[in-house]
Amino acid sequence: GFEGRLANADDVLTRLEPYNVKLVLSGHYHGSQVTDHAGVVHVTTPCCSTNAENADGSPEKGFRRVTLDKDQIQHEFIAVPT
């Protein structure tokens, strides 16, 4: 899983509070993590390239399909063959 943390993570999280944010998506870290912080789901997705390594050392490669609906958010990791 994710072992790092942005130096200004607390500032970023505080800045999101007034905006009713429900989901934060990230992929640049190239690792898999899903966490909830004060009702905001944070999702990081592994690398999709089969010739690059994930920063967290995990073997999974793929992308995430996100479905947005008026009342809910769903996300699913889709693995690609390696």
Q: How far apart are CA 57 and CA 2, in angstroms?
A: 10
How would you write 23-76 as a 3-class SS string?
A: EEEECCCCCCEEEEECCEEEEECCCCCCCCCCCCCCCCCEEEEEEECCCCEEEE
Indicate the pTM of the whole model: 0.78
Secondary structure of residue 37 in the 3-state scheme: strand
Instruction: Work out the mean pLDDT of the chain and round it to a whole number.
Output: 86
Cβ atoms of 50 and 61 closer than 8 Å:
yes
Residue 74, pLDDT score: 94
Judged against a pLDDT cut of 90, whether residue 28 lies above it is answered with no
Residue 2 pLDDT greater than 50, yes or no: no
Average pLDDT score over residue span 33-43 = 88
Helix (H, G, I), strand (E, B) or coil at 15: helix
